[in-house]
């Protein structure tokens, strides 16, 4: 059984290890890109969220007793407040996720530019 020996030159070893690490980073980068990509069902989820909130509000108006108008409006106010808070929090999280996606795209582009610049500097330094 013959094992492949490591290069004797430390610069060759550094280049090989650097290439392996770079390949793994690129593979992980593309995997993460697929995970954070915008999915077709996200817009439908937002529409469903508002529709279910509206349905919940209509249901709550029918279930609250109308005998006491003050109690009715008080209960309806708190149901609406809880519903709007829940929808607002989910919309806030969706906005943050969209911002993180955009940040990912910008950072990926910057990293590619920096990598190209670093490769050019290494080529000039090696010459």
Per the structure block, which two tokens stand in for 110?
């910057």
pLDDT exceeds 80 at position 12: no
What are the pLDDT digits (tens) for 51-105? 888 888 888 888 877 788 888 888 888 888 888 888 888 888 888 888 888 888 8
What are the pLDDT digits (tens) for 14-48? 777 777 888 888 888 788 778 777 778 878 887 88
pTM for this model (two decimals): 0.55
pLDDT exceeds 80 at position 10: no
């Amino acid at each position: 059984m013959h094992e492949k020996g490591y290069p004797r030159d430390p610069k060759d070893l550094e280049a090989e290890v650097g290439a392996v690490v770079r390949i793994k980073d690129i593979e992980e980068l593309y995997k993460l890109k697929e995970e954070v990509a915008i999915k077709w069902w996200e817009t439908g989820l937002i529409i469903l969220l508002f529709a279910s909130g509206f349905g919940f509000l209509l249901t709550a108006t029918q279930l609250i007793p109308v005998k006491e108008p003050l109690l009715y409006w008080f209960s309806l106010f708190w149901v609406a407040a809880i519903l709007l808070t829940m929808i607002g929090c989910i919309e806030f999280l969706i906005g943050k996720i969209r911002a993180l996606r955009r940040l990912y795209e910008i950072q990926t582009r910057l990293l590619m530019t920096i990598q190209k610049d670093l490769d050019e500097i290494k080529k000039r330094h090696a010459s």
